[in-house]
Structures are given as structure tokens and as C-alpha cells.
Structure 1
């Protein structure tokens, strides 16, 4: 008997223990992602050839207390290496684990390698070649609880690689983890019942299931092993074990296995993989949508097993949430009484199934923490599943939309806010841009659990498009929280999609996906209308102009010339496109890429109307100074006053909630302020009256 370390994926240790017991092994000790066993070489061969859960089978050759390089070298030299393999074989060394003195695994691997090749040089005067790729002999060292263990890897290439999967597809599931999902499902207890995967991808789950049902050895197609050049290898014994298991294969065993996916390329891969795995005759693959596919198979018992999309990207979460909901309804309509087993890393999505899990098992798929969950499918014909989700939110959204949509038509706009954190449990803002939705999640208080806020957001993502009768694929999700400097303008995506929206006889390009802000501040709608009304025959300055929407309204209102100033060339170019969209000749107007404060310092022109909407705070790398609207607004407005024609007007806006206008300082500067915050607050922002402040400033008359 010898000591082996059998490695596996995290979460599969208990299943691996059961599998090893079936090979007659009784001395088993579980650890994280591995199992220690006392076994014969014959039993080790059985693991190598038949295990569907193991990654590697490591034979321990030496072990001992290890504090430093000297100890590691000595422990490695305890092995008679020329008795393990010939010098003509190539060698590689991997190492895991660190101590206070052995902190670098590459260094430790080098120590082990040196100990091996030094022994070869000393004893036979020759040394094996060291190769990192496709080495004949793979040695592994591990530091575990101050002990160094030296192993030879009998498996060679990881055992999770069966050899049938040339293309893993878009969301690869390791074969041994796929086998674990099948085992956890219980289908193998009665493989005569149907097995269905509605998200089959490259077919791994179904292929593993078919091979296990037909007793096909996991490594039947493997042609090279880690023990091929090992001098302890018993060729005759291993060949006998292969013949024994190959004779048990039930290649004609009838199976009812169905795989569906909406990706043609994935299905082509799945069919090829099944053919290479010798199970293509018992798996029916078909292009279909998991939300609507009707199997048409009458069976009281059966198993649905799937690895559905995870929705890792923020933009994918909306689609994934709706997919889970509709998929669950589809299988409930068809497969009442069947069993369902899913593996997913989107644990929060599982609640959308509206099923109570019998068992959940935590596992790891590569770097993703996942859950294998088992359910009993409860039959239902309910077609209105979304009605029962977040009913309080739905009712408020319906009520708001009925009222606000009428006011939007009256205001001649097709972009407006329909919900703004009206209910504390649903802390989001929802804006309509024609047939698109922008959902902004406000940062939740720290005392609310992340899982709860995620669940509530998910409810919003599912129900809002449904309530408003909009396409879920036209929903943009953003996270709105306190921004510093120019963070609010930081690019979020790379879609580059623009749509045209209408407002008070003007048109604007908006980008709903690439930035936190869309290019049009909806809360400035009435302010823009006021600027349009007051711009007739005036020379206008739009400071911190962003995408120049105020400038467009000024021109449409009859301004003789408009100067738009912004530090960002990108947004000024966007502004010029807005001018062209409204048939305004850009050559008649000025677009200045400069900081607003710096422009006021340098400018010598005079204006009849100046609109200033600065950020609350800015520390752009393009500037040698920062800007704080509370600290700097008086100096800024004093400079702006110097550039007013007699009788001119300054409109000053900002969105700092705590802002206090320095009225005394303005009075000394000869300016009179009138608060227009309420007067310019649009109909759809009445619920947040403190969202920004607006002041009309004019020169004090004698």
C-alpha cells in the first residue's frame, strides 16, 4: 500500500470520497480540494482510468518537516530518483504552498529540480532534460502544515480533460464538475427517464451523463499518462484494468437525452463533442429558446439539468433575470413532477425560479464560486408571473406613468423621469427616453444587506419594462452615487449607440449606455425652455456647456451668437452634432475647449446672457487648480459680471444639495439674486425639489 493525494475541484470532496470507496479504497481522509488515501497501485490505476471527479493522482515519494531550502533539498534527495525514471525522460516540477522562509513557489520548484538532477549527475553522470511543456515525468511538491511532500503525478494531463471536448464553448464547465452535477441530480439512479438540458452549450453535462449511464470509462480515449515513463509502472496490470472496464460498456443502452440551445455554433460543437465521446446516437440536439421550447414529451418522471447563463456583466443582468423567470415558467408548464438541477454562480437569480431548493451544494468552477441546486418542479399554468413580484413598486410605477406621461406630452418631450426613489425599498430612478429605459440605482445605506439590495434591484429590472410595456433589451442600468471630480463623465461602456430624442421643438443625441450621464440633463428641461424664451437677439455664453443642449435652445430662441465653453473636446464635438441635428450652422457660433474659469479670466468679449452650470467639485488632471462650487462661486460670478453687457443677465445653476449662495458677497459685487429653483423645476422632478438650485443674477440698479 502507498499514500496518494487525489485532487479535485473545491466542493467535490465528498462525492470523490464516495467514488473512491467504489474502487475498494477504505483509508480516506478529506481535505480542501483533495483527498488523501492509502491504496494499492492497482487501485490508483482504477482512479486514473475511471474517476469522473478527480483532477490528479499524486503518489507520495517523500515527506518530512521543512523550514527552509536546506530541508526541502534534503527531503527531495530521500528519493532514489534513478529508480523512478530514466535520464532520457524529460522532467517538470510544480510547487504549491509557502512558509516564512520559502515564500516563492518558483524558487521552491527550482530547489526540488536541483535536488533531482544533482542526484542523477552524482550517480550516473547524466541528468534528465527539464521541460515545462509536455514533460514525460511530472513532479509536484507541496508544503502542508510545515511538512514538505514530494509526489510523482501518475495522471499526467489533468483527469478532468476527457479528450472528447475540442471546443469548450462560450461558458466552459469543467468535465469533472459537470459529472458532479449529474451525480447530484440523481438521474443516474434511473437513467431510463428523460434527461433534458435547455442550455446545453457545447454539451458537456449531457455527454458526461450519457457516458456514465453507458459505463464508458472517463479516460477511454486517453493515449498518454504520467506513469508511461515511470519505472514503477505495471503495464500488464493497467492493461487488464482497462480491459475489465471496457468490457462493461453498454454501448447500445437506449437513453432519452435532449439538448437545446439558441446558439447554432454551440450546437454544432456539441454534436461534434458527442460524436467524439461515442454518445451522439443517444443525444438529440436542437436549436431552441429555453423560455418557449415545448418538448412534447409525455412522461411523469424526468430530469431537467442545466448550466444557465451567469449574467456576469452588469448589462447582462437584465436579460439573465428575465431569462430565469421565463425559463422557470416554461418548465413548470411542461414538467410538473420532474426534478430540476442547476449549477450557477448567479445565486441571487435562483429565487426567480419560484421553487424551494431541496439541496444546495457550494462548488468552484475555475475562478467562479457556484451552487448546485436541486428542486422538485411544481406544475403551473400561470402566465402572469411578474404580477406577483414587487407589487408595491409596480403599483407606484403604474400610477406615476399614467400621470407623468400626460404631462410629458403637454411639455412636448419624449424623455422624462417616471420614478425617483418614491419607495424606500426600491431606491432607483427610472427615466424614459422614447422607447428606452434608463434605470439608475442609488447607493444603498450601509446597514442594508447587499443581498437584499441586489434582490430589490433585480425585481425592478424584471418588472419595470413589463409595467411600461418596453423591450427589456432596451434598458440601461447605471449605479448612481456620489461622484468626485469628472467621475460623472467617465466612460462606462463601449457601445457607441446614440438615439435622437425630442424636447420643446429641439432634438438631441443621447447615449444611454456609455456614460453615467446620457448627454441631456432632464432636470434642466424648464431651465432650457427659459433660456430659449429669453435669448431673442442676444449674444449668449454657455459656460461648462457639456453637450451644448442649452446652446441649442438659445439659438432656437433667436440668439444672434452662442459661445459654448467646455474643457472636454469630446463633449463639444457632441454639441456640434446637436447643432447640426437641429439644422444650425456651427460656423456662426463658437465652441471653445477650455476650463470655464480660465475662459472667464482670458475672455474680453461681452454677452447679454450668460448661463453657468458648473460641477460641484472638479480636480481634472488637465487643470493646475481644483474647483469647489461653494468656495469659488462668488469669484466666478464676479468675473462673469464683468463680461455682461448693460442690462445683461446671468443664470447660475448647480446641483450641490448643501449649497448656500453668498448673497452678501454678491451684493458687494453689485449683483442681485433671485431664486428660480422652484420655478424651473420640471414636472417630473417635483418629488425631489432639492435636486439643484437655480439663480437669476442681474446688476443692482441705483
Structure 2
């Protein structure tokens, strides 16, 4: 087989645990990948052979790095067999080499992965028998080459496994504890908790239940610049005919040099504790295998005796751990006390620090008694799990009655839990209102977010619209007891009228859940009750009853102010205009013209009412019902200022194709920028969690991330409510 050119671009695919695709995509970009595209449990990317080597050596998050061989039709087992027989296997495998097949996925005809793997092996062996009159051997353990076949519906992607096995096996862990955390998942937890940033600022790391030390060692390798796969014994590509040994040795030598320099540096304080001396010994052996025994210190100590080391006087640090949860150690009732103790230790010993707790049981997590400000949904193998982040400064421990006391109270029919919870929620509402009061008076704001799931157990958003209130209940996860969720909602409904001094009829309640396509346009009720609120110089109509949304996205208030300040005597384009609040601001602020485009008749009618409510006619305020992408492809107008705020996802019946902002934003932005005059500005915003801007856009245009400038105080607790970028054309010079 001809060796791959060092610069030839190839498409690659990296697999990873579900929930960390965005992190992996970012990591691959930092390694030099292009055309990065996320999918469930994996990321597609482009790059030369050297990038494949670097991904195998340096990816802290990938399970496998796959080099696609072919994509074949595989509706049936016979079709799978026939498709594999069409591949020239002599280019990938020598008949004297051993191989193995990893088969994933199923369809109507191929329902068993073992059967799919066997049929695939037969096809490859038969190809060699026909072509070379010899048969290669199949080796289940330590094959020379490993191939991966991923079946999806009626097609299968055939790929060569560059690493020859899962990259989560770093090679440093000789033994693990009773419930080991995979290394790449541990790395993801550390990245989500911003350990690299904290370490760069001189922060320390403590794991109070460290087990065999996986979190500690992954943290140490990050700050010491040690390639995670540097200790692996072998890689699958080393036996591959297309392997470029000279290039690989250069990459490997660079990694070894970086690791040597990293170990010699002064590293942050990293300590671990565990009550089990056996796992502490394993942690010590693992750290010694990496040459990090001086940087990572572990000792045997139960959680209740944990104290912050006296010589660590740093103002910043991270407490992170993966405590046991019912599936692996002990019964749930007893574990509540462990989690409560963890909360008390974190607050007592590590006030002003950050904390990150990984668990599959949110009910146990609540027993910690501290408020989590961020939660990430992840998978620990097949177990749905959550990473909870805590800011321990000013984080008060809640009273937490014992399971026995709670059961007794329930048996006796008392309502102490309900009244306590309602009072706690009311106190938070009053506290938030006091915190925002001076800002609200100074800026003359009457519509704002007062509460946004500040306490995870009360997962609602409370928005104030003048003298009325809109409460959106976030849909509870499937693992939350519906009765418990209902009880907490009843506590919210009991607390709000008292805390706000408003009658019950002034508060509208809705269940909030993910919407797809045109579901957001569907009526929830039919009251038709519009009422007017003021925002700056304009009046806007809102409806708190009939639709999931009210007609006014409060988090875009700063962007609307910015547009109003910049739009005078300019032509303004509002794409995906919704009810047109930004258009109204532009019109009232003196825009020469406005053009508003949306596919919903409902919201365009709402825009017309908003314009009329502000005395604005439609002669210079043009309203267009159209698919924005199609409209842009035929647009011959030019604008000075453009607002582009697409939905995260839409598959409206009025559209031929679905729209996904992560997948489609690059094409959308290029089309919109073609309508922007030289010297003009385009504001692009969306609320897709984990959104990543296509790096090619940043090369093509003058792009600035202004997200922080578009978050007002009422949304600062949730700074990821949206992302916002300002685009300009680059000057020809």
C-alpha cells in the first residue's frame, strides 16, 4: 500500500462518552482539526495523518480515533457481507497479520452485534481466500490491527482503529478501586469544572474520596503537559502498512520532551484522601507509574476527619470527587448521611473554593445541602449521571432532616417540609428582588428575570412583567419523582403571592420543556390577553397565558438597547424576527428602514401590533413571511445593521428541511453577511448550549464575541443563556 502523504487531508471520526461531544470538538480543534462536526457520542473532523497521530497521543477525551475505510450499504447481513467484499483489504491488512472487528449498532435485519461482527469477519477472510488463496487469523486479544464497523440504519461505516483499543486506557493504572471512573470521563469532569484555568491562576485541587486517584492523575497530567497516551504500550497504527514511522517518532519525541519539562516545573498542590488504605496504595502506585508521586500526594483519611492542609492558604481551589452512589456501595439511605457530611466538610474547610461532585443520583446530591449553580448531564458507562458545580462562597447549608425524621413527619401527616420549603423559596425571591432593586430603578426596567432555578430543587424561571408575573416550570428529569416535583411546584405557588405582594391571579404558570419545530407557535390557551409593558423608549405587547413564550425574550434586552443606539438613519434587517421587539426599537430610534423576516404568521401579526402600538406604520417597516435561508439566497438588498437570532433547532412543517444552528450557522452567516454593507455590523445570537462558532467564519470576517456585554444583571447567574457575536467585513487593506 502507498503510504499516506504527510499533508493529505483525510476525514476522521473520534468516539467519546455521550455528553462530552462539545468538549472533544474543542480539543480536536486545538490539535489542528478542521471541519469539526459533532454527532451523538462522537466527532467528525478533517486533517492529515499527523493529526491522527496527535489525536491518539494527546486526546484526553476520545475513546477511539477512527480512520474511515468505506461506507457501505448494510440493510441485510448479505448486503453487509457483499459490501465488505468490495473493499481492497490488501491495502490495509497483510494476510500474515491478525485482526479483530468491533461491531456496534443494529437494524431490522442485523439485530445482534456478535452476529454482525462474525459476518464481517467472514467477508474479510473470504476476500483474502479469493485474492491470495490464504486466510488471515482473527485474534480476540491483542490483534495486530483492529477495525470498527458502526451500523446505523441501513448503512455501515467501516474504519480502521488507529489506537487499537479504547484510549481511556492510559497505561498508568495497574489496578482500580471497586467502581473505577474511566480516565477520559475524569478528564471531562475536570474540564467542565475549569481545573486548567484554576491551576493557571495558582489554585489547588483536593479529592476527598479519591479511590485509585484517577481524577488527581488526570488533573496532574493536564497541568504538567503530559500527553495522556504517552504511557500506552502500543498503538494499532504501528502494525499498519500506511504507518509513517518517521513522522510518528517526531511527534512522540516532542511529547516526551514536553512531559519531561512539565514534571520539572513547580506544579499546583494536588491532594487526595480515602478511607480505604488499599485504594490509597493503588493511587500511590499509579502516580509513581506516571512519575508524578511528588506532585500528587495521597493519604488515608476518612471524610469526617478531612481538613484543609494548613500550608494551603490559597484563596482559590477546587474540591472534586466521585462519591459512591447506590449502584456500587451501600444502601441509599445510609449514603444520604455521607453526602451530607461531604457538604459540611466542603463548606467548613473550603469556603471561597469551587466544588464539583459527580453522581448518578440527584436525590443523594441534594442531601449535600448546598446550592449547585451549574449541572452537566453525562454518562458513566451506561448510567445517566450529573456533574454538579458549587461556588462555596456565601453558599449556606440547608437544614436537612434525617431520612428517619422525614419518614416520621410524613407518617404523622405534618406539613413541616412543605411550609419550610415554601418559606425558603419566598426568602430567595425577596433576596433577589432586593439585590436587583437599585439597578432596576436606575435603568427604569420593569420587565426582568427575578429567579432562574437558583435552587435546583425549585426548577422554575420567575419573570416580572410590570405588575404581572410569568412562572415557567422546567420539565423535571425522568429520574425525579413526579410527586416530589409536584410538591415543590405547590410550594412555589404558595410562596410567590406572599413574597411579591401580588394576588394569585396576577401570576401565570407554565410547564417548560424542550420544543421542536413549530411547537413554540402552538397555543397553550386562548385568552387573547395582551398587555403593554415598557422597555426603554418603546412599548411592547406581551401575552403571559396563550403561548409557551411571552413575546419578549428578556435576555436580549442589552442587544436591543445596542441596536437602538446604533440604528439611526440606517437600514436594519431582523432575521428570525419573532414578535419584532428589536424591530420596534429600531423603528422608534430612527432607522431609515427596517425589514423583518420570519416564517410564523402568528409572530408577524404580533409584530404588526407592536409597530402600531408605537405609532409606526409599515411603509418603511417591511414585514416578510419567508424561510430566512431561502429569502437570503434571493435577497439583492443591502443593510447597515443586521440582527440574526435563529432558533437552536426547527423542523417546521413550512420548511422543506430542518434547521440546526450548530450545523447550519456557517452557511446562514455567510448568506447574511453577503447582505451587509461595507462598514456595517451584524449581531449573531443564539441560545444553543455548548454552541461553537465555526473557526472558518473567524478567518473570513472580523468577529468579536460580545456575549458578556449582552448579559444584564438579572441573567448573570446564567451567563450561558445565550451567546452573541458582532461580525464585520474585513477591510481590503
CA contact (8 A) 1:153 1:226 kept: yes
The corresponding residue for 2:355 is 340
The corresponding residue for 1:201 is 211
Matches within 5 A, 1:220-369: 220-249=230-259, 250-254=262-266, 255-295=268-308, 296=310, 297-312=312-327, 316-369=331-384
The 3-state SS of whatever aligns with 1:92 is strand
Q: Distance in 2 between matches of 1:55 and 1:102?
A: 24
Q: Distance in 2 between matches of 1:124 and 1:452?
A: 67
The 3-state SS of whatever aligns with 1:280 is coil
List per-residue Cα deviations over 1:342-386 (Å, max 9, x = no partner).
Answer: 111121122223333222111111232111111101357x8xx68
Q: 1:422 to 1:38 in 2, by over 3 A?
A: same
The corresponding residue for 2:4 is none
List per-residue Cα deviations over 1:283-312 (Å, max 9, x = no partner).
Answer: 121221223311233221111111112133
The corresponding residue for 2:85 is 77
The 3-state SS of whatever aligns with 1:373 is strand
Provide the aligned C-alpha RMSD in A.
2.8
Does residue 450 (structure 1) correspond to residue 460 (structure 2)? The answer is no
Q: Distance in 1 between matches of 2:387 and 2:144?
A: 37
List per-residue Cα deviations over 1:184-207 (Å, max 9, x = no partner).
Answer: 111211312111010111100000
The 3-state SS of whatever aligns with 1:349 is helix
CA contact (8 A) 1:291 1:323 kept: no
The 3-state SS of whatever aligns with 1:190 is helix
List per-residue Cα deviations over 1:381-414 (Å, max 9, x = no partner).
Answer: x8xx68x33599959969xxxxxxxxxxxxxxxx
The corresponding residue for 1:423 is 414
Q: 1:50 to 1:313 in 2, by over 3 A?
A: closer
Matches within 5 A, 1:50-129: 50-129=58-137
The corresponding residue for 2:400 is 389
CA contact (8 A) 1:93 1:141 kept: yes
Q: Distance in 1 between matches of 2:416 and 2:346?
A: 31
Q: 1:195 to 1:453 in 2, by over 3 A?
A: same
The corresponding residue for 1:616 is none
Pairing partner for 1:164 from 172, 191, 194: 172
Pairing partner for 1:219 from 219, 223, 229: 229
List per-residue Cα deviations over 1:566-594 (Å, max 9, x = no partner).
Answer: xxxxxxxxxxxxxxxxxxxxxxxxxxxxx
Q: 1:265 to 1:454 in 2, by over 3 A?
A: farther
CA contact (8 A) 1:292 1:327 kept: no
The Cα shift of 1:14 comes to 0.8
The corresponding residue for 1:374 is 389
The corresponding residue for 2:35 is 27
CA contact (8 A) 1:62 1:75 kept: no
Q: 1:326 to 1:396 in 2, by over 3 A?
A: closer
Q: Distance in 2 between matches of 1:392 and 1:101?
A: 50
The 3-state SS of whatever aligns with 1:248 is helix
The 3-state SS of whatever aligns with 2:294 is helix
Q: 1:227 to 1:364 in 2, by over 3 A?
A: same
Q: 1:455 to 1:277 in 2, by over 3 A?
A: farther
CA contact (8 A) 2:57 2:229 kept: yes
Q: What TM-score comes out, normalization by structure 2 length?
A: 0.53
Q: 1:397 to 1:364 in 2, by over 3 A?
A: closer
The Cα shift of 1:31 comes to 1.3
CA contact (8 A) 2:230 2:255 kept: no
Q: Distance in 2 between matches of 1:298 and 1:340?
A: 17
The Cα shift of 1:335 comes to 1.4
CA contact (8 A) 1:393 1:426 kept: no
Pairing partner for 2:139 from 97, 114, 131: 131
Matches within 5 A, 1:655-666: none
CA contact (8 A) 2:369 2:400 kept: no
Q: 1:426 to 1:315 in 2, by over 3 A?
A: farther
Q: Distance in 2 between matches of 1:303 and 1:455?
A: 35
The Cα shift of 1:315 comes to 5.5
Q: Distance in 2 between matches of 1:355 and 1:139?
A: 47
CA contact (8 A) 1:16 1:53 kept: yes
The 3-state SS of whatever aligns with 1:76 is helix
Give structure 2 stretches of 5+ with no counterpart: 1-8, 419-478, 488-733
Q: 1:178 to 1:396 in 2, by over 3 A?
A: closer
The 3-state SS of whatever aligns with 2:18 is coil
The Cα shift of 1:426 comes to 8.3
The 3-state SS of whatever aligns with 1:291 is helix
Runs of at least 4 residues of structure 1 off by over 4 A? 390-398, 424-427, 451-456
The Cα shift of 1:243 comes to 1.3
Q: Distance in 1 between matches of 2:381 and 2:326?
A: 16
Q: Distance in 2 between matches of 1:68 and 1:396?
A: 56
The Cα shift of 1:146 comes to 1.9
Q: Distance in 2 between matches of 1:37 and 1:179?
A: 21
Q: Distance in 1 between matches of 2:340 and 2:209?
A: 14
Q: Distance in 2 between matches of 1:144 and 1:85?
A: 25
Q: 1:422 to 1:157 in 2, by over 3 A?
A: same
Give structure 1 stretches of 5+ with no counterpart: 399-418, 428-447, 457-702
Q: Distance in 1 between matches of 2:146 and 2:171?
A: 20
Q: 1:304 to 1:449 in 2, by over 3 A?
A: closer
The corresponding residue for 1:144 is 152
List per-residue Cα deviations over 1:249-290 (Å, max 9, x = no partner).
Answer: 211222201111111111111111111122111112122122
The Cα shift of 1:425 comes to 8.4
CA contact (8 A) 2:198 2:317 kept: no
Q: Distance in 1 between matches of 2:271 and 2:483?
A: 36
The Cα shift of 1:52 comes to 0.7
The 3-state SS of whatever aligns with 2:63 is strand
List per-residue Cα deviations over 1:48-84 (Å, max 9, x = no partner).
Answer: 0111111111111111333223321232123211121
The 3-state SS of whatever aligns with 1:353 is coil
Q: Distance in 1 between matches of 2:69 and 2:404?
A: 64
Q: 1:262 to 1:392 in 2, by over 3 A?
A: closer
The Cα shift of 1:137 comes to 1.2
Matches within 5 A, 1:27-46: 27-46=35-54
Matches within 5 A, 1:521-540: none
Q: Distance in 2 between matches of 1:132 and 1:396?
A: 53
The 3-state SS of whatever aligns with 2:212 is coil
